[in-house]
Structure 1
Amino acid sequence: MNITEQICHKAARFDAVAFDVFDTLIKRDTATPTALFRLRGEAFYKVRVRAEQEARAAKGGEVTLAEIYARPCLAGYDPAEEVSAELAACTAYRPVLAAAQRLKQQGKRLYYISDMYLSHTQIDTMLRRCGYTFFDGGFVSCTYGVQKRSGKLFRQFLHETEQDAKQVLFIGDSWRADVIGAAVAGIAAWHLPTPEAPGTNLAAFIENRLPMQKTAGEALGFSVLGPLCVAFSQWLHRCRASRPDAAVHFLARDMYLMQKVYRTLYPGEQTDYLQVSRRSLAPAFLAAREFACVQAALPRQLLTGKQLADFCGTVCPPAAAAGQFDLKHPDGAELYEFLRSLPRPEAADTAKAYLQGRRLRPGDILVDIGSGGTTQLLLEKLLHTSLHGLQLSADERLRTRFTPERAEVFLFCGEAAPRIYWAGQPMLERLLSEDAGATLGYTKTGGVIIAPHTPEPMLAEVQRGVLHFAAAWRESILSGQPISPKQAVAPFLRLVESPTALQLALLGNLTVEDGGVYPLAAPQSVGHYLIHPGEAKRDFAAARWKIGYLKRLAPLPLPYGRLYLTFKK
């Protein structure tokens, strides 16, 4: 039974129901009440906490916001700013809101009772903003100078409403103030089950809004990828500010969603979407006989001669079509000899025509999901210019190609990403990418040639969730706060290492492209592999999310993430 149903069930025999306010009817978008003070700076936080302590000590009881701000240490600060911040930070606790609406429809009288220094009018405004427009009355401790925990505020409530204590149910999240305090006044109380307190403002923000997502895919995008995309966009914005004359080009397809997030957060800024891929650039380098660049463009997979020629936009001599090349560990001489045998691609000149239309200039910014900076390298070679890379992540190749001044990296302090990140990076790239076919090349007029592709509806759900997060963050009181790289990537790393059954079901059947089409984590049954053991090795090798593959194959409480990392070592 969920919380909404539990509340309605508990309230069935009572004529009136009263609720605690904070952490019951409404939540804040901060980890703690005092974390709201810190949003105004550390100096304000310290004097605000001190002022409340002094006010309570001086009065010996409940205090008002005016009495707190009357303390000398808060001289010059306006209490209206705190009231505005409280209003901006509050959001309805959705299960309780749904229950309260249902109880009102049943004809029950509803009240709220709160220990708080904010006034009745201020709390009433907050509740109305969160959808609670139907209360029959409210009682706030600072109005009466008494609190719930003593039972006196509950007695005041009974006196003014003329309610029979036996016909009232009180619901709150505190055992001491709500349950015991109500019992002292003879009122039955139910302790609202509450999750563990969020450790950060970001966690509180996600927890408060996650119930608003309509599908499991949207919820995953909101909670796992939303923080990462917003944090990366914030970093891009700061980097761009240091290079105001540079145009910003988001590289397709894996930066498609990131550009949409960036535009959501910074709608007044101009950006470009550059539809290039290693495959679309390879023909130009093959025609120029720059085989090292062709090799850099090729996917690091086992490819046949025909697959390799197709990738370069040309045809393969029949005698070499079935030959294989291990591009993870290529024999340079053999590869270059094969490349020399390939006819000049017909599309060799179209890439330059497309890029000339995009007007890339020296020093322009390239935004990429990143690894070794290959696309930046190829574009610089092709255009004979110097560009500036801003990447989400990097591997060990990047610093052999670019200095930190030429290619900056957001995650992991700019160092090569850890193994657990690469265990899920193909999945991350698919989730961020435009759900369209690969960019194969360009027409003579500068148009883009896209491979046939069947859209994945679940991917659209995930990306909607990301955009919901970005829009909500932009409008929240937290919008001016940077999300740290560590906080931003943590939900994704948890997903990679310890996925839930629902996450496995949502993502496991996705495929990724890398010189071929590979499943993320789609094993056959254990029984099938017992009959066909050879297929188990083949499918495991093909899976691009091996931790997910293992957990989906054998859903046991095993540390698959640690086992995978040990295996990789």
Structure 2
Amino acid sequence: MYQFDFLRQQDRERIISQIAPYSYVSFDIFDTLLKRDVIKPTDVFRLVGNHFNDGSFFKKRIDAEHFLRKETGREEITLDEIYNKLGSKYRSYKDQELKIEQAILHKNLVVYPIYQYCKEHNKTIIITSDMYLPENFLKDILHRQGIYFDFCFISSACGRQKVTGNLFKVMLTAVNIKPKEVVHIGDSVKGDYLGARKQGIHSILIPKIINRTPWINLKDKMQKNSFNVFINNHLDLQQNRYYQFGYAYYGPVLYGFVKWLHDSVGQKKIFFFARDGYIVKKVYDAVYPNSTTEYVYLSRHSLSVPLLWKHSSWDEFSRYITLTRFFSLRTLLKRLGLRPEAYEQQVQQNRLSLGISLQEKDFLQNANLKKFYLQIQDDIIRNSKAEFDALAAYFKQKNFHGDIAVVDIGWNGSMQRYLVELMALVGESVHMDGYYFGMRKKLEHTQVHGYFYEPDHMDLEPQVSFMQGLFESFFLSREGSTKRYELCNQIARPVLYQPEYHEHDIEYQAFQSIQQGASAFCEKYVASIASKLKKYPAKSYAYNLLRFGTEPRMTDVALFGDFRFYDTNVVYLAKPDKMSVYIHHPKQLVRDFSYAVWKAGFLKRCFRIKAPYMKFYTFLKKLH
């Protein structure tokens, strides 16, 4: 008997070594040669009922089969008999059940190499399976999946089952072989293992649930759902690990988000914000190709500078620009929309330097800085008005008005807050709803909605925030952030910064692979009828990704820890120094941890033990 988390090459080789001496190899069908893209076989009945909008069919179908077996007392019944029991009203349901079975049945990629070995070594292949479905129907599905055989024995056609041993007896007689000449492979203890042994046939039992990849654990009840079954059945293990990560972990999150978004927006036109909205729009358009969507080049910077002419006072301007805890005067000037080099002389005259280090918490108390700011205030206003005019033209070109939905990654809602004020200044009538992966606060005069969390439902916020930098990295697009807009012949065009990563960078290649894998999952899963089975909450779609981000293993951290992350400064996702360094310099540990983008990854890589890092981090934040 073989019980393993996921079938490794050596496990296959052990099975192959057992079947090598036999000239005849018998295979079960369901959960052996073929796998369904659903958790339970009875999920097929739910899908049939869903197709006809008949909520009562699921129970009726189960009851009809149960009572028929009890009434007849025979070893096996047929699908025709089951539907005769249900009555003529359900004749079309039978055809739909067969269509669904055909759609969700696929070759078992774990067992298929064993079947291929048998073909390559000229074994006589026999199909021996208990099933009420028609024999010709099952033969056709096996052929469609590239599985060919010499003999086929289905209980619905033979009237005998494996569990009694009688179907094996029929097989031995028909093929004219002795029990010692054949080996049987299947997943049922009663049918495939004990049933075969009743006739003296050597049998090999494989698990009903096989975790085909290290990414999915279907034995974990939190992971036992239709999309993880689909991933386990279809993930291409020939692709690189980043593609596999995207398919197994990031893909379900994007799929869940776009389903939630579509159900929420109604008839609104949807605007996806660059850059984080690029992959989201790509997936949304693939899942809902008939929707009206638009990709707009916006950033906090490109929206904040056009507002500075209205908020240019020394006490107010800082609320409209993005600053980190520590920043330079050069950075401040860039945030104000100005070229630092044009003000070097004035900077020096005010006993400052472009490289001077400033702190967000107290820079407004710097008298020299205030004096310098007041000297350049007119330039700030002049530039801000010019950028406002160009932005207004861009909005007009994009038909950014009316009842609309805006989509971005989220967190604090600053871009939507800026947009509300900008559209009022432009004079456009806009009813704007924001849809985000997470939103920490409510906004005045506009509506915001969060997929993972929102102000009244913050359960997932600690987990998402603990891996926020890593999560943001998955949305990386090929282009730079939006800097401003320029008018050319009355046409407004976005001006972009240079992208942080280049095509040869490992980070760029990795995140492109992740997005390719995620897109592939979404496109394939939505095309599967299994996706119609059930709607799952955000925590289910995100379960594996959040586990990865908040409770990483060392192999998990190795995937991303050395990657660079661009904010105001370049930092690493999770790259601590040696512990020996931190023992002698504990303040450096505190500093490096504060700069680490992926906190859980940093702690795991630093201490290398399994520990409740998120609880520890939450406790430290409360103390601070």
Same fold (TM over 0.5): yes
- Note the alpha carbon deviations across 1:348-377, whole angstroms, 9 max, x for none: 424334333323113222111111211111
**Change in CA separation of 1:190 and 1:309 when aligned onto 2, cut-off 3 Å:** same
Q: 2:600 aligns with which of 547, 554, 557?
A: 547
Give the AA of the match of 2:90.
Answer: G
1:425-440 aligned within 5 A: 425-440=468-483
| 1:450 aligned onto 2:503 | no
1:301–1:515 CA contact under 8 A, matched in 2: no
Q: 2:21 aligns with which of 13, 17, 20?
A: 13
Alpha-carbon distance between aligned partners in 1 of 2:310 and 2:483, rounded to the nearest angstrom: 18
Q: Which moved more, 1:479-488 or 1:47-56?
A: 479-488
1:303–1:326 CA contact under 8 A, matched in 2: yes
Alpha-carbon distance between aligned partners in 2 of 1:558 and 1:80, rounded to the nearest angstrom: 53
Q: Which moved more, 1:43-52 or 1:274-283?
A: 274-283
**Change in CA separation of 1:151 and 1:402 when aligned onto 2, cut-off 3 Å:** farther
Q: Which residue of 1 aligns with 2:133?
A: 118
Q: Which residue of 2 aligns with 1:303?
A: 327
Q: Which residue of 2 aligns with 1:486?
A: 539
| 1:375 aligned onto 2:415 | yes
- Note the alpha carbon deviations across 1:188-219, whole angstroms, 9 max, x for none: 11111443556222221122122456121111
| 1:470 aligned onto 2:497 | no
Question: What is the SS of the residue equivalent to 1:95?
Answer: coil
Alpha-carbon distance between aligned partners in 1 of 2:589 and 2:375, rounded to the nearest angstrom: 37
Question: What is the SS of the residue equivalent to 1:394?
Answer: strand
Q: 2:354 aligns with which of 315, 321, 324?
A: 321
**Change in CA separation of 1:496 and 1:402 when aligned onto 2, cut-off 3 Å:** farther
Q: Which residue of 1 aligns with 2:64?
A: 51
Alpha-carbon distance between aligned partners in 2 of 1:438 and 1:471, rounded to the nearest angstrom: 27
Question: Larger Cα Rg: Structure 1 or Structure 2?
Answer: 2
**Change in CA separation of 1:281 and 1:473 when aligned onto 2, cut-off 3 Å:** same
Question: What is the SS of the residue equivalent to 1:471?
Answer: helix
Give % identity: 28
| 1:518 aligned onto 2:571 | yes
Alpha-carbon distance between aligned partners in 1 of 2:497 and 2:146, rounded to the nearest angstrom: 47
Give the AA of the match of 1:98.
Answer: P
1:18–1:112 CA contact under 8 A, matched in 2: yes
1:134-173 aligned within 5 A: 134-173=148-187
Alpha-carbon distance between aligned partners in 2 of 1:213 and 1:297, rounded to the nearest angstrom: 46
Q: Which residue of 2 aligns with 1:564?
A: 617
**Change in CA separation of 1:117 and 1:402 when aligned onto 2, cut-off 3 Å:** farther
Q: Which residue of 2 aligns with 1:82?
A: 97
Q: Quote how far apart the aligned CAs of 1:500 are.
A: 3.0
| 1:415 aligned onto 2:415 | no
Structure 2 unaligned spans of 5+: 1-7, 211-217, 503-507
Paired residues in the alignment total 561
Q: Which residue of 1 aligns with 2:189?
A: 175
Alpha-carbon distance between aligned partners in 1 of 2:88 and 2:227, rounded to the nearest angstrom: 28
Alpha-carbon distance between aligned partners in 1 of 2:399 and 2:569, rounded to the nearest angstrom: 32
1:325-364 aligned within 5 A: 325-327=358-360, 329=361, 337=370, 340-342=374-376, 343-344=379-380, 346=383, 348-349=386-387, 350-364=390-404
**Change in CA separation of 1:213 and 1:251 when aligned onto 2, cut-off 3 Å:** farther
Question: What is the SS of the residue equivalent to 1:432?
Answer: coil
Question: What is the SS of the residue equivalent to 1:363?
Answer: strand
Q: Which residue of 2 aligns with 1:105?
A: 120
Q: Which residue of 2 aligns with 1:96?
A: 111
Q: Quote how far apart the aligned CAs of 1:538 are.
A: 2.3
2:596–2:602 CA contact under 8 A, matched in 1: yes
2:452–2:539 CA contact under 8 A, matched in 1: yes
1:275–1:439 CA contact under 8 A, matched in 2: yes
Alpha-carbon distance between aligned partners in 2 of 1:221 and 1:122, rounded to the nearest angstrom: 35
Q: 2:244 aligns with which of 206, 214, 219?
A: 219
Q: 1:389 aligns with which of 426, 430, 433?
A: 433
2:500–2:566 CA contact under 8 A, matched in 1: no
Give the AA of the match of 2:516.
Answer: R
Q: Which residue of 1 aligns with 2:269?
A: 247
**Change in CA separation of 1:126 and 1:444 when aligned onto 2, cut-off 3 Å:** same
Q: Quote how far apart the aligned CAs of 1:185 are.
A: 1.1
Q: Which residue of 2 aligns with 1:538?
A: 591
- Note the alpha carbon deviations across 1:256-300, whole angstroms, 9 max, x for none: 110110111112333111111112223222344356575244145
Q: Quote how far apart the aligned CAs of 1:545 are.
A: 1.0
| 1:366 aligned onto 2:406 | yes
Question: What is the SS of the residue equivalent to 1:94?
Answer: coil
Alpha-carbon distance between aligned partners in 2 of 1:14 and 1:305, rounded to the nearest angstrom: 79
1:368–1:389 CA contact under 8 A, matched in 2: no
- Note the alpha carbon deviations across 1:73-131, whole angstroms, 9 max, x for none: 68434211101111111122112112211321121121221111111111122223333
What is the RMSD computed on CA atoms of the aligned residues? Answer: 2.6
Question: What is the SS of the residue equivalent to 2:90?
Answer: coil
1:458–1:506 CA contact under 8 A, matched in 2: no
Question: What is the SS of the residue equivalent to 1:478?
Answer: helix
Give the AA of the match of 1:11.
Answer: I
**Change in CA separation of 1:330 and 1:365 when aligned onto 2, cut-off 3 Å:** farther
Give the AA of the match of 1:515.
Answer: T
- Note the alpha carbon deviations across 1:515-534, whole angstroms, 9 max, x for none: 33332111233244345544
| 1:27 aligned onto 2:35 | yes
Question: What is the SS of the residue equivalent to 2:591?
Answer: helix
Q: Which residue of 2 aligns with 1:256?
A: 278
**Change in CA separation of 1:75 and 1:54 when aligned onto 2, cut-off 3 Å:** farther
Alpha-carbon distance between aligned partners in 2 of 1:23 and 1:549, rounded to the nearest angstrom: 41
**Change in CA separation of 1:306 and 1:331 when aligned onto 2, cut-off 3 Å:** closer
Structure 1 unaligned spans of 5+: none
So what's the TM-score if we normalise by structure 2? 0.84
| 1:190 aligned onto 2:214 | no
Q: Quote how far apart the aligned CAs of 1:306 are.
A: 1.8
Question: What is the SS of the residue equivalent to 1:250?
Answer: strand
**Change in CA separation of 1:558 and 1:411 when aligned onto 2, cut-off 3 Å:** closer
Give the AA of the match of 1:232.
Answer: F
